[in-house]
Chains A and B, each alone.
Chain A
Amino acid sequence: MAGTGTFSYAPAIALFPLVAFVVALVFGKYMPKKGAIAGIFATAGSLLLSLVMFAAVAGGEVYHETLYEWTSGDITSQVGAEEIEFTFGILLDPLSTLMLVIVSLVALLVHVFSLGYMNAEGETGLPRYYAELGLFTFSMLAFVFADNLLMAFMFFELVGLCSYLLIGFWFRTRSAPSAAKKAFLVTRFGDYFFLIGVVAIAATFGTVAFAGDDSFVTAAETAINDGTQLFGFDARTWVTITGLLVLGGVIGKSAQFPLHTWLPDAMEGPTTVSALIHAATMVAAGVYLVARMFGYYALSPTALAIIAFVGGFTALFAATMGVVKDDVKQVLAYSTISQYGYMMLGLGVGGYVAGVFHLMNHAFFKALLFLGAGAVIILMHHEQDMWKMGGLKDKAPVTYYTFLAGALALAGIIPFSGFWSKDEILYDALIVGLEEPVILAAYAMGLVAVFFTGFYTFRMVFLTFHGEPRSEAAEDPHPVGWAVKVPLITLGILATVVGLANLAPIAKLLSIDITFLEFWLDGEYGAIEGLTYHEYHETVPFEEGYISSETVTMLIGAGVSLGLALAGAFTAHTLYNVPEPSRHMTKLGGAYTVLRSNYYQDEFQVWLAEGVTQPIARAADRFDRTVIDGTVNGVSSISLFGSSRVKRIQTGIVTNYAALLVAGFIGLLLVLGLYGGWF
């Protein structure tokens, strides 16, 4: 492949943060800013290199190189491969380079923001914080440019570890460690299926490579075409099964229903962490993985439909819960879940571009919103309850306007970035849905969610920034420094304009080629064989239907979603954009409690853990101590009892001995006599 010259620096993208991790861990204590500097330089370096790679890909080059063989060995795979290699390699194609840029950019901004958020607040344990941030960035970047499923899984797990550590950063509290544990366990549950998927795919196709002729995608395609039997299933079914198994990991990491419960709790971590990990990047890992191996899912309509439906449902489900939260971060958390639902929906209906597009946009505006929330929290002296805020608009204009930009993007108000991507997703869902009822249902849910999104977003904005201050903290907010503002502004601009990357509706209306992202992902500039949008699109087995014409359909879709978003925003305005907003909980009636308690999802999972698993474990323990160990001890006590009896024949009276002796002798005589037939 060409361009290895530039690309040979690719590993450094991930290695810089790794170095930062080591440095911060070992020397952080003695460094100015406790290791932040190292992190900032490292992420800056990564960003720089990522941009270089991006440019290189834009220049029509791609990079797919195996760097290091982990291990290899003989197998007898279902498709007849005799040998398998597990390697670490780099795959730089449009998708991964785009993601690299996003991740390293957000990471850099978060590092900078941390200066204002953590250092300024005089936290302890900063070296640990920056080290873990570095480790996370390393793992995330490595995950992004992984060229095979196993490597992806490994770094997938590592980001999980970092998430655990960072959520539990304030380990001296009771809640943070618990939230961290929950986050890891729930995602681990998903990863269990993911790992089965990896193992299954490897055992089936004898390869775990994403791209190239020896990728498992290609192998699966050939298997399906040849009608091979895989582990007793016909190929397509098996692909569906394995695909869904991998999807388990995705659902866990991207906090999709029913494994979404960890994300709101994860807000126990520092807000910067929430911004980086639980909004922009790690949570995106799941969706990114689907996009990464989209070719595989494209082979299985069932899997796609399930993805779409789960996505649509989660989008609505989470949005409804976001409506009633008081904690600003909680609202953002549920909106994150909801937004990833959209991405899943997009990918599920084959809207590869739409999904990735929304992934990108969301990364920016959600990072923005979280950092904004972080700024608000600084302003509010670490108060997160929106009901204690209010009126911050004038006191912190920068925060307000950037936050607003993010909110508009999130709500999907034209022309902010969120609108374009969300609209595209819904459009793709609609056209497929017209043929596929399941998808239509998913679309419907996504559509309804738009309303809620608009509502809770602006409820948040109004409660936080508008009206009268509702606490003395809100009266005189704590000022924020440049380290806070710079990232906000940067992201604010991005959130506003990044939508330009793919103005599909405009392009269709005016029929001009401005859908850059689509071209990008379609490999107009350069891509790896098989990993391009149109190839996916050909594989995706869905029919597409239109209401009268394509344009009309698009306009209807766009109009409806925009209308709903505005409606939501307006409702919020009427309810909350008043000097003294009230909770309006009665309006929802019984539903309110249900929503407040998140549909009792947590209760359910806690019950699973404590109501089911624990008793079983205790029962097993009791069984073990009584029955199994009892048997062991029983044997010994029985023999000892026997011993205490046996020795009683030694009565101490010599006459008895003589008698017993004679008796024994006669007994022996009898036995032998009977055998020998003496009498």
Chain B
Amino acid sequence: MAVFQLPEWMALAPALIMAATALALFVFDSISPRSTSRSLLAGTAAGGALVSLGVAVWFTVAGVGTPTIDGGRGEIEPIHGLVVDQLALYFMIIVAIVTALIAVASYDYLAGHTYQAEYYSLVMLAATGMSMMAAANSLVTIFIALELASLPSYALVAILKDNRGSVEAGLKYFLIGALSSAIFVYGISLVYGATGHLYLEDIAAVIEAGEADSYGGLLGLGILMLIGGFAYKTASVPFHFWAPEAYEGAPAPISAFLSSASKAAGFVIAFRVFTTAFPLEATRELIGVDWTLAFVILAIVTMTLGNFAAATQNNVKRMLAYSSIGHAGYALIGLAGLTADGGELVMGAAMMHLLVYGFMNTGAFLFVALAEHWGVGRTFEDYNGLSAQAPVACAALVVFMFSLAGVPPFAGFWSKYFLFTGAIGIGSTAMLVVAGALVVNSALSLYYYSRLVKAVLIEDPLPDRGVLDQPVGLYAAIIVAAVMTVALLAGFGPIADAATDAAAAALA
């Protein structure tokens, strides 16, 4: 296959393409800062994202990361600290997909908006950071990539400079972010102190060799602080506080971007670090407790708090924000369910969920973007009877809602039920409790998701509502997302295989 001829550094192409696009947009911006040729800018961004997506898919198909014994190319490590394997590619794909979707959607959303190039380049930069996070396998690169993803995000959230909500969101996001990254770095320093390494596999080696025995407490605290960092990125309790405001205040496409791609990126580093650096048994002997316990607790608390808080929201965007916290809780099961002997089933399920989530949640937020574009308002009541005026978009919304609720016949069903299945399959009491929590929360989530469906489909339309146009970009993005959400139900096989294989490889 063609991959063989490519130089090794090309393995990072998905991320590099993003970076290149970002730079290109920067250059463009500096040439004509006032330019508002939306089609060009959005086109470039989307194009870049799509190319990156294509390359990532191509690599996956070409067998990059697949163990050589399985006839694959094996994982490539162009630079010390950046590895390209199935896991990396899988999440690069997610990031690319979401980026492409929101780039297309922003075409309409940013209409009549200044400094567009800036916006797009920031998006692409953040995307680059996220792709990097997917590939990073050293705490150094992880931290850098994480910051590379975070810093543009702060700016993006606050990009509506004259919108108090946006600014407030940016502020909160940033402050909590600063705090969290401080904690994260401190955690890194402690881990480094305990093991003397920042490269994940070396850390693992040290721990397994038992050379760090004297620093159990230090390491434990460090690990916990790392968890804090991930929890922040994935908007998990107790580091979730920024999320509701940030998602609510930010421009809807950015909310979609953060809640889907950024969350996924957060998870990939978590997966990477904990599967590579901290082998369960050795670590347990060292710190005296399974770090999975932390994730069990986080998972339960996060999904419960997210769903419960979402149940009685009046602002649709905020409801989605909380639901996104709830879904972080679901995905955390992927880490909570890891066991010494495998657990790739549940981790794979979590990865599937993140991919599907990339479509359905992005789509949902983009519908909000559409609503904001129409200016129909933000609460459930404002959405009443939209289906009468925009049947297609509302049909898509129904798909997203029920898919988020995990009801067939939508892809959300698979991932969520595989998570459920995996959780039960672990067979430990803790995971049984998690599964129980999942049931309770699903029931609750059914309530508020169907509430939105009720608003747009069942309630009578508001009398004084003007005609609603059909912005091409937003519609395109939403419909693509919806179609994918449905189509994935049938075509779930490849994804399930890719995810479980990646998980298995990571755990191996």
Which residues on A are within 8 Å of B, measured CB to CB? 636, 639-640, 642-644, 646-647, 650, 652, 654, 657-658, 660-661, 663-665, 667-669, 671-673, 675-679
Contact = CB atoms under 8 A, between A and B. Distances in A.
A37 B191 CA distance: 105
Contact of A657 (B172, B305, B308, B313): B172
A675 B309 contact: no
B287 A665 contact: no
B179 A658 contact: yes
6 contacts: A639-B308, A647-B313, A657-B172, A658-B179, A660-B238, A668-B224
Contacts of A658: 175-176, 179
Contacts of B428: none
Interface string B195-231: 0000000000000000000001100110010011000
Contacts of A679: 217
Contacts of A639: 308, 311, 444
Contacts, number: 92
Interface in B275-290: 287-289
Contact of B216 (A636, A640, A647, A678): A678
Contact of B288 (A667, A668, A671, A675): A675
A642 B242 contact: no
A504 to B, nearest CB: 80
B287 A678 contact: yes
B312 A640 contact: yes
A661 B241 contact: yes
Interface in B231-282: 237-239, 241-242, 244-245
Contacts of A669: 221, 224
Contacts of A675: 288-289, 293
Given A636-B447, A664-B238, A669-B224, A654 B309 contact: no
A652 B183 CA distance: 22
A640 B308 CA distance: 8
Given A647-B308, A657-B176, A672-B224, 14 more contacts: A643-B444, A644-B312, A646-B305, A658-B179, A665-B183, A665-B224, A665-B238, A668-B238, A668-B294, A672-B287, A672-B289, A672-B293, A678-B216, A678-B287
Contacts of B238: 660-661, 663-665, 667-668
B171 interface: yes
A654 B220 contact: no
A650 B315 CA distance: 14
B176 A672 contact: no
B297 interface: yes
A650 B309 contact: yes
Which one of A642, A661, A679 has the highest number of Cβ atoms from chain B below 10 Å of its Cβ?
Answer: A661
A348 to B, nearest CB: 64
A113 to B, nearest CB: 62
A86 B13 CA distance: 78
Given A646-B309, A658-B175, A677 B288 contact: yes
What are the 3 tightest A-B residue pairs by CB atom distance, in nearest-first order?
A: A664-B238, A676-B288, A676-B289
A647 B245 contact: no
Contacts of B171: 654
B294 A665 contact: no
A86 to B, nearest CB: 43
B297 A657 contact: no
Interface string B338-382: 000000000000000000000000000000000000000000000
Given A650-B241, A675-B289, A678-B216, A643 B176 contact: no
Nearest to B287: A676
B304 to A, nearest CB: 8
Given A661-B238, A665-B238, A652 B245 contact: yes
B242 A657 contact: yes
A643 B244 contact: no
Nearest to A643: B311
A537 B221 CA distance: 101
Contacts of A671: 293-294, 297
A640 B175 CA distance: 31
A207 to B, nearest CB: 50
Given A668-B224, A678-B216, A661 B309 contact: no
A372 B414 CA distance: 80
Nearest to A653: B172
B228 A665 contact: yes
A664 B237 contact: yes
Interface string B172-194: 10011001100100000000000
Contacts of B293: 671-672, 675
A642 to B, nearest CB: 6
Contacts of B221: 669, 678
A636 B179 CA distance: 38
Nearest to B228: A665
A31 B187 CA distance: 100
B220 A647 contact: no
B162 to A, nearest CB: 20
A657 to B, nearest CB: 4
B314 to A, nearest CB: 11
B216 A654 contact: no
B294 A672 contact: yes
Contact of B308 (A646, A663, A668, A672): A646
A551 B176 CA distance: 118
Contacts of B239: 661, 664-665
B389 to A, nearest CB: 30
Interface in B303-322: 305, 308-313, 322
A323 B305 CA distance: 82
Contacts of B310: 643
Given A647-B308, A675-B289, A661 B297 contact: no
Contacts of A664: 237-239
Contacts of A640: 311-312
A657 B174 CA distance: 12
Contacts of A673: 220
Contact of B172 (A646, A654, A676): A654
B176 A661 contact: yes
Contacts of B172: 654, 657
Nearest to B444: A639
A647 B447 CA distance: 16
Which one of B228, B238, B289, B310 has the highest number of Cβ atoms from chain A below 10 Å of its Cβ?
Answer: B238
A668 B179 contact: no
A654 B175 contact: yes
A676 B444 contact: no
A659 to B, nearest CB: 10
Contacts of B297: 668, 671
Which one of A640, A643, A663, A664 has the highest number of Cβ atoms from chain B below 10 Å of its Cβ?
Answer: A643
Interface string B149-161: 0000000000000
Contacts of A654: 171-172, 175-176, 241
A120 to B, nearest CB: 61
A639 B289 CA distance: 33
A136 to B, nearest CB: 51
Contacts of A663: 238
A678 B305 contact: no
A669 B227 CA distance: 11
A672 B225 CA distance: 12
Nearest to B310: A643
A125 B37 CA distance: 82
Contacts of B216: 676, 678
B193 to A, nearest CB: 15
Contacts of B312: 640, 643-644, 647
A669 B221 CA distance: 8
Contacts of A665: 183, 224, 228, 238-239
A640 B311 CA distance: 7
Nearest to B309: A647
A641 to B, nearest CB: 9
A643 B224 contact: no
Contacts of A667: 238
Contacts of B322: 647
Given A646-B305, A650-B244, A678 B220 contact: yes
Nearest to B227: A668
